[in-house]
Amino acid sequence: MNVLVIGRGGREHSIVRKLSESNQVGNLFIAPGNAGMSRDATCVPIEETDVDGLVDFAKRNAIDLTFVGPENPLLMGIVNRFQEENLAIFAPTKEAALIEGSKSFAKELMEKYHIPTADYETFTDAELAKRYVAEKGTPIVIKADGLAAGKGVIVAETEEIAYQAIDDMLVSKAFSDAGAKVVIEEFLAGREFSLMAFVNGENVYPMIPARDHKRAFDHDAGPNTGGMGAYAPVADITEDVIKVAAEGILQKAASGLVAEGRTFTGILYAGLIMTEAGPKVIEFNARFGDPETQVVLPLLKNDLVQVMLDVLAGKNPELAWEEKACLGVVLASAGYPGSYEKGVSVPAFPENDTFTIYAGVGQAANGYVSDGGRVLVVGAKAGTLADAGRLVYKSLTSVGEIDGFFYRSDIGKIGEDVLK
């Protein structure tokens, strides 16, 4: 088969790596990809948002199956276009992807179909929003309604922080149209985890749970990021909890989307929090999570191509998982998630017991240079989470001081002990 993956980040590199293991794949393309992926697939210089260019490429190269990694092309309707051209694609239409594209739509869907989530209100007026915050008190959560690259969520611990977030979104337009409407939610206490599933209509096939670390610095300090590391599975999330989340959240969401005329096909991601009342939804995404994908897919025993073909055909892919743990740590550019320098030489980490997934890298004469905020993930599989963590942190420290970059030393709470 000729297979095309759309995207350029670490999530897409993980998908490419997994697809490259399949004996059903002949030619594997990634558009646009990055320099670090070129060993695993043929990079094609077409932007993720160039829908016409991608459709044309798929037709000219007889692409048998396309997989979409990031959210922006989904909301642009890339799947709708591929379907119009009778091109097989594993991802949701723009109508179904609205579950990620609009937080207010997602909240309304959850309310209608009795999916557990935080209480909320939606606002376009800053003064009314502030009045609501004053009435409800803090901590409270302020979210830009639309896509904001993982940065449109503020957990406000004081009214001042909440008011500033409201002004940034509704008055200063910090997130452009994505922040023209805000969702203000009650703060939920508990341990977060991610549960993703392969979905086609009402058929939902959950994966193993993962947990990512979103704050920039150790001990969950600093600003929210797209994710600084992750691990899977999650020992404190029991099989019973996974069953409740799969049936009461993922299945209800998939069935709700069918009922709304927005049938979902692809990867449905639920960002969840384990509260005293059980798991509740923080957010839905319409694609694989990043960096959770980098630690979930390495544990999947199945051929990923066959999984997608089975799901598209309405068959149970019978997912099987390694009895191991996987942990990954993000190496980020100094300054991320704020401004940062590009073009900094990226160290090469030993890969005897670990693997490297590349995200924001470009090619230079003597190796890779940084080209983004999150640059790469160093990951490992082992019999226990602690052993996987030790392997990762051993690899990260083996190159000495890393100028121009940083990483958290407490992913999975493993590095703290290893690095002493």
Condensed to tens digits (0 to 9), the pLDDT of residues 282-306 reads 999 999 999 999 999 999 999 999 9
Cβ-based neighbour number of residue 24 at 10 Å:
14
Cα(405)–Cα(420) distance, integer angstroms:
20
Per-state percent for the chain, helix, strand, coil, to nearest 5:
35, 30, 35
Give the pLDDT of residue 151.
67
Cα(208)–Cα(234) distance, integer angstroms:
8
DSSP structure class, residue 144: E
Residue whose token pair is 């002493």? 420
Cross-strand bridge partners of residue 378: 329, 356
Rounded to a whole number, what is the distance in angstroms from the first to the last CA of the chain?
A: 49
Rg (Cα) of the chain, in Å, rounded?
A: 21
pLDDT band at 205 (very low <50, low <70, confident <90, very high): very high
pLDDT band at 22 (very low <50, low <70, confident <90, very high): very high
pLDDT band at 368 (very low <50, low <70, confident <90, very high): very high
Walk me through the domains of the chain, giving residue ranges and CATH numbers.
Answer: 2-93 (3.40.50.20), 125-180 (3.30.1490.20), 191-312 (3.30.470.20), 325-418 (3.90.600.10)
What pTM does this model have?
A: 0.93
Give the pLDDT of residue 150.
63
**Rounded mean pLDDT of the chain?**
94
Cα(65)–Cα(76) distance, integer angstroms:
19
pLDDT digits (tens, 9 = 90+) for 127-169: 999 999 999 999 999 998 888 766 688 889 999 999 999 999 9
